[in-house]
Structure 1
């Protein structure tokens, strides 16, 4: 049994990690989250009231509060997921991404280093700082380029990916300079239940259910590798338990799809399980709702993950393929309208309108 400090544990990926640890281990989870627009305690489900779950509403940039959490709860490991993570938001407001992803990570690292340096030798040897990052730090790939490996040079394209690349470099510096036992994982695009509805898959599901346009940037030919969030959470637990300090592990879903293929797959699932209402008689299938909009600045062409290291060294494999994972995801949104209604606040609606309504439709 251990005490695990999870930052961003009310977010999409963080809440999946918290739920898994509480359901499948005897560990205690200290959940630290600022509860910004994407942090939602509803995403923890019954785990929020679990006797081994402790919630702390704390900003990782608040050094005094972070120090208090470390001293009060005495964690054996840290999983750092707290981050601003939406590319479009980083383009319209990059300062928040620098503050949280760079300054916040630096603050957390320095507090963790001070705490770790004073631990008894046995606890000090066991302690781990696991930083969760993204494949977007590597930039983008051409159609025939080999997938990203852990040795791929960094070439971030957006303020978001640049801020995550900066945080990765800070983690490596704290390991190299101070000896802090760190782990880094870089994952591909996540999807699954409880994802905030600004991301592609939940946005398309919810718009389609309401008969609204399904916006796709450019021609929809940008390619992403898709990783189910529960597979990602299992991978993170594996790396924390078995990973070698100072090492990086790429985590992918082995499911490269164009954005258009993803949207069409969602439409086809909804045609089977949730046909368009008769009020949309001019439309025959959900695919008729697809609308191409002008592309965003600096849009990366393709991401792809080579997961050889984690699969061979740590024996991790994804349990979901894209078809099974997407089917479960669509069904979850159909079955959980209460969660959707609570999360879709006025601020969310204003953001969607600001981001998409002003974009010129393209043929």
Structure 2
């Protein structure tokens, strides 16, 4: 972390973790989605289907907010209520609860493709790389769910002819980006990594003159242009990425560098735009960091990073539940971007 982002994180870490702890245990209201296979085939309550990830309004938000808690506990344990976080994670990451999550995923499927899938694998990756006794137990307990998610990716990616270029959960690039570090860590079974690399090449390698000036749409929390660029930055060498980015966005449109205006935090779709500003900040930071040194676009990108992120960091909690049940995840993703995110990036070649 840069000193600036580190200072911002330390000032807000207790607030963000408190919001996450409240929300992962808040079962209602809940936007539960379940395909009914026969009369009466519907849960009485969310935790009947999701014994670990029943809170935060919906499954994928609950998964990513658990990632937030692990990330903070792992990186800045002295700045957060570490005992409270461990207690909550021990409650939710039991072998039985996560076995139930895997069973639900395999039998009922998941509508959060690939968004929630990628976050589930990112959660496991964050835990598995941590030399901590609790984390090793949690990692072992998560293995059945990660195996189910991996199988789902392997069944889906080869037949997905076209990417989904949207600013919400179906966004193809962001889901792959979240799954990529976990895939890279599976050195004994590279099938998922190969499938992600093949899909990204098929979908994005030939993209040119992307119409990023059309962004944003009214309910975006992701930038289709920037999530694609961030994924490519993770897969390509620095030199190859710069060449691809030159073709993809020959010019940086003002619309992509200007923060979105949020008019109503209580409207779940409009409130997505707060997440757009923070996820854009993360993507812009990753893109700037992936360009060659002294690239003339870097100062413009970094200026846009701060313009997007700084006003949003104070909106993460204390506003409306439509914001609070998920937004802290994007604040922490941005504020902790650094060496651990580089696990998803290709090895860099020397500049020529």
TM-score, structure 1 length as denominator?
0.27
> Which one has the largest radius of gyration?
1
Structure with greater helix share of residues: 2
Tell me which protein shows more strand as a share of its residues: 1
Q: How high is the TM-score relative to the length of structure 2? A: 0.28
